[in-house]
Amino acid sequence: MVICRQKNNKVWYKVMVLALAVIIGVNFSAWAEALKPNDIEKLSKQRQKSQYILQKLQHQIKDYQKKLDQTSESEKKSLLALKNLSKQVMLYKQVVRNIQSQQSKLKSEIRKKTKQLKQAELELKALKSDFTRYAIAIYKFGVKNELEVLFSASSINQAIIRKEYIQHFSDFGKVKLREIDRKKFEITTINKKLSRQYAESKQLLKEKKSQLDDLQKTQNDKETLLAQLKKDKRGFKKQLQESQKKTRTIQNKIKKLILAEERAIKAEIAKKRREEAMRRKLLAKSKKTTTKKESKRRRSDVALELEPSQPMLKSGPSDFDYNLVASDFDKNMGRLPWPVHGGVIVEHFGKNKDKDLKIVTFNNGVDISVPIGSSVYAVAGGKVTQIAYLPTFGNIILIRHTNSYITVYANLSDIKVTSGETVRAGQVIGNSGKMPEGGSIVHFEVWKGRDKCNPEIWLAKK
């Protein structure tokens, strides 16, 4: 008889466990994934950065257009005006590319959120179905029948066990209601996010159409001006020659500064060697035991041969971790921060073929378009060794780094450093100056002794 009662208890227990398993057997992993704080924060930062870059690009376009609006009718038919329009076309294209990139990311987000929404709705449906079964169970074994169930027990022990089961059943019912509420909240949250993303996508599409219209207009203006310039072959040729002459002037000036810097480096090395030779000669004559003072002096002299590691900026602009910049310049290939923020390379290193003008020019560095007056930063720690000025290309700064590397920054309007000053990576050294055709360009070069390097290989990828 006791054995029979124990079996009945086990069966009743298994039935209750099975019922509870059905009630709480919904998988909430998708809900947890749907609202990861880190992912949301990461996406938010990406959007902010994209928006910041777009604003910088649009600001540059306004700078060029403002200059064009201020020129006379005769000046608008010049090579400078053509350069102005060419830069605008390049910037408009970059704006459109950035918007397309944002659209692509947003579409991906919308697809994920839509999938999460469908999953959440399926889980809510399953929860409601489980709760329906629970409600039926409550109707059968609820408060009204609780005494009947307890009194029908064959023993006090069984009654106590049934009382505990009924209590657990009731508690799980409350849990199920809370889970339904949470799932409803999740669906509402996802729907709100989707609504915002759809609105954002619509706005981006509208902005892209506007930029494409402006791009087409600028391209048409450029083609019209080019056709007009080509009609006056003699005047056009003269303007081209003047432009090429200015380019050669800046290149020759920088090259002279580089050669002067190389001579200065060699002179310093030769001086250190002479000092070291003299020190050794004096030591050879001396038979006295080296004192602690002399030992200290010798170590100091030997240290002169080593170029000191330059300090780094601990906290720089928000879009770059300046702690990544190694003191050893050779280790910085592909990791150097850009000398400006939100800039676009409008002329690359090496040969540049102008399809419109049918000419080929050589650039010893890169020309980066930025808003007028933008801050210019040292890309690595070093020593300011040369500051020069050219009427046609603003101020020029040379910074010497370890292992005979030199970085060049040209077309600066304001200088924030002095010759001989030690600078840190990320330190502001000046502001970008205006260009004759409008807008602002920062010319940047990297040299290893007399050898010019491609800055794009050294700069970090955006």
| Confidence check: pLDDT of 299 > 80 | no
Tokens of 306: 């080593």
Percentage of the chain lying above the pLDDT 90 cut: 21
**In the structure, how many helices (H) and strands (E) does the chain have?**
9, 12
Q: How many whole angstroms separate alpha carbon 87 and alpha carbon 345?
A: 10
pLDDT in tens, 6-45: 444 444 444 444 444 444 444 444 444 444 555 556 666 7
- Count other Cβ atoms within 10 Å, centred on residue 335: 17
The alpha carbon of residue 201 and the mean position of all alpha carbons in its chain are separated, in whole angstroms, by 21
- Count other Cβ atoms within 10 Å, centred on residue 264: 13
Q: Is 62 left (phi over 0), alpha (psi -120 to 50) or beta?
A: alpha
- Please state whether the predicted TM-score (pTM) of the whole model is above 0.85: no
pLDDT in tens, 310-366: 444 333 344 566 666 767 788 889 989 999 998 899 999 988 887 777 778 889 999
Transcribe 278-337 into DSSP letters. HHHHHHHH--SPPPHHHHHHHHHHHHTTSPPPPPB-SS--TT--GGGS-SSGGGGTTTBP
- Provide the pLDDT for residue 80: 85
**Burial of 214 per CB tally in 10 Å (0-12, 13-18, 19+):** middle
- Provide the pLDDT for residue 288: 59
Contact 404, 365 (CB under 8 A): no
Mean pLDDT, range 202-231, rounded to an integer: 88
The more confident residue out of 12 and 421 is: 421
Mean pLDDT, range 150-154, rounded to an integer: 52
Who contacts 320 (Cβ-Cβ below 8 Å, separation ≥6)? 337, 338, 426, 460
| Confidence check: pLDDT of 60 > 80 | yes
- Count other Cβ atoms within 10 Å, centred on residue 283: 12
Q: Is 387 left (phi over 0), alpha (psi -120 to 50) or beta?
A: beta
- Provide the pLDDT for residue 406: 92
Q: What mean pLDDT, rounded, does the chain reach? A: 76
Q: Tokens 């006791």 label which residue?
A: 2
- Count other Cβ atoms within 10 Å, centred on residue 400: 20
Contact 46, 105 (CB under 8 A): yes
CB-facing half-sphere around the CA of 241: CA atoms within 13 A: 6
Give the highest mean pLDDT range of 97-101, 104-108, 148-152, 440-444.
440-444
The radius of gyration of the chain from alpha carbons, rounded to an integer in Å, stands at 37
| Confidence check: pLDDT of 149 > 60 | no
- Provide the pLDDT for residue 290: 53
Give the bridge partners for 351, in sequence order.
Answer: 362
Q: How many whole angstroms separate alpha carbon 221 and alpha carbon 209?
A: 18
Who contacts 304 (Cβ-Cβ below 8 Å, separation ≥6)? 272, 275, 276
Q: β-strand 366-370 against 344-347: which pairing, if any?
A: antiparallel
Percentage of the chain lying above the pLDDT 70 cut: 73
Transcribe 205-270 into DSSP letters. HHHHHHHHHHHHHHHHHHHHHHHHHHHSHHHHHHHHHHHHHHHHHHHHHHHHHHHHHHHHHHHHHH
Least confident range of 160-174, 208-222, 429-443: 160-174
| Confidence check: pLDDT of 293 > 60 | no
- Provide the pLDDT for residue 311: 41
Tell me how long the chain is: 462
Three-class SS of residue 435? Answer: coil
- Provide the pLDDT for residue 25: 44
- Provide the pLDDT for residue 102: 86
Encoded amino acid at 273, one letter = R
CB-facing half-sphere around the CA of 436: CA atoms within 13 A: 15
The more confident residue out of 132 and 14 is: 132
